[in-house]
Structure 1
Amino acid sequence: MRENSAAFAAEVGRRVRRLRAERGLSLSELALRAGVGKATLSGLEAGTRNPTVETLYAITAQLDVPLAALLTDAPTDPARGTVPPEVVHGDAVSAALLETFVDGRVTTELYRLRIRPGRVQISPAHPLGAVEFLTVFTGTAKVGPLDRPIVIPAGGHASWVSDMPHMYAAETGEDVHASLVIRHTSPTPPERP
């Protein structure tokens, strides 16, 4: 998996800026609501900062959009097929958006996920009604609601409502490799970036 490119950071910044402006929010107001520093948000919008998963989720929660509204699906190169998608990193999680499916008001995002051991990542609440589905290929994951996390061994899967803060951790000393599906329903049909 390749690291975030300058073009990727610039595109994410452009999308954040557009969504913020569409909602009539100042940079300061969005930064305050999302709990991120104004300089961090400014750098993200300018494309000079690599976005983290935590920062992007904090921002998308305040903009009431799924994470996929800021990311792009894995691109396709006619000569090489699907190009590896950009990877966003967090405290414990590295995620790559593979595909986004929009069906009316429902957006389904498919991610390749890696959870690194020795860390816990807390994800802020997603929009009301969001549900996550995790399938673990290797390792053992501890995920889900903070007050009742779910342990998923290799070969297992589970789901949880993610419109509340939730966690991701590797339960043992090895990396967890998994697929994550997130389903959101919005009051109006979502826009494609």
Structure 2
Amino acid sequence: MGLNDEVGRRLRALRTMRGLSLSELARRSGVGKGTLSELESGTRNPTLETLYALTTALNQPLGAVLSDDPPHPGQHEGAVSGRAVTAVLVERHEDDDAVTDVFRITIAAGATQESAAHVAGTSETLVILSGTAVVGDPDAPSTVGPGASVCWRADTPHLYSAPHGDAYGILFVRYPAAAL
């Protein structure tokens, strides 16, 4: 089963488990009903922004619609991309307090991605492996380089950019269990 099929199957299952129609999930997420239908049928490539909009409307972490199987180093299968960020889910940890999704990400040089607010209480922590990233609150972003990390609230709009070449990192997205 390919990424599109798996994402579609999981989206449909989450939507029906919540008792939502296509129209209602489309309304809550701001994603067009036709787009949602194509995603659920596996005929449309999902973007990072669209998946975040849908999973936020479903009160679920992004990892809920991505593969649970971590990729091998250098493998890009299972990657989802947005305007600037390409992310591969490498780990998902659940306990009584939170769900934490761990992604290997690439932030494309010169591009900026504005991410909408996620589920209430969500935070993100980025560790940069190489390159320089500008991330976090759009009004007061942080610049972070190799070996450094930064944490920000992700339940408000936030951004990612790499002004001086591609940036590579590990992103931890922590969703409080009480919000899911």
* TM-score (normalised: structure 2): 0.93
Unaligned runs of 5+ in 1: 1-5
CA deviations 1:23-61 (Å, max 9, x no partner) are: 121111211221111111110000111111000000011
Q: CA deviation at 1:7?
A: 1.8
Determine if contact 1:105/1:186 at 8 Å carries over to the other structure.
yes
Instruction: Please tell me whether residue 145 in structure 1 is matched to residue 142 in structure 2.
Output: no
The within-5 A match list for 1:12-161 is 12-75=7-70, 84=75, 85-161=77-153
Out of 6, 17, 29, the position equivalent to 1:11 is 6
Determine if contact 1:112/1:178 at 8 Å carries over to the other structure.
yes
Distance in 2 separating the partners of 1:75 and 1:185: 22
1:181 alignment counterpart: 172
Distance in 2 separating the partners of 1:136 and 1:83: 17
Determine if contact 1:74/1:82 at 8 Å carries over to the other structure.
no
- Which one-letter code corresponds to 1:181 in the other structure? F
Give 3-state SS (helix, strand or coil) of 1:187's partner: helix
Distance in 2 separating the partners of 1:72 and 1:11: 7
Distance in 1 separating the partners of 2:130 and 2:176: 30
Unaligned runs of 5+ in 2: none
Give 3-state SS (helix, strand or coil) of 1:33's partner: helix
Distance in 2 separating the partners of 1:151 and 1:91: 19
Distance in 2 separating the partners of 1:142 and 1:27: 36
Q: CA deviation at 1:82?
A: 7.6
* TM-score (normalised: structure 1): 0.87
Determine if contact 2:101/2:172 at 8 Å carries over to the other structure.
yes
Q: Count residues with an aligned counterpart.
A: 179
Determine if contact 2:70/2:91 at 8 Å carries over to the other structure.
no
Computed over aligned residues only, the root mean square deviation of the Cα atoms, in angstroms, reads 1.8
Distance in 2 separating the partners of 1:111 and 1:186: 19
Determine if contact 2:96/2:177 at 8 Å carries over to the other structure.
no
Determine if contact 1:126/1:164 at 8 Å carries over to the other structure.
yes
Distance in 2 separating the partners of 1:126 and 1:105: 17
Determine if contact 2:122/2:176 at 8 Å carries over to the other structure.
yes
Determine if contact 1:108/1:183 at 8 Å carries over to the other structure.
yes
- Which one-letter code corresponds to 2:169 in the other structure? A
Distance in 1 separating the partners of 2:140 and 2:33: 33
- Runs (4 or more) in structure 1 with deviation over 4 Å come to none
Distance in 1 separating the partners of 2:137 and 2:69: 29
Determine if contact 1:75/1:83 at 8 Å carries over to the other structure.
no
Determine if contact 2:118/2:154 at 8 Å carries over to the other structure.
yes
Q: CA deviation at 1:139?
A: 1.1
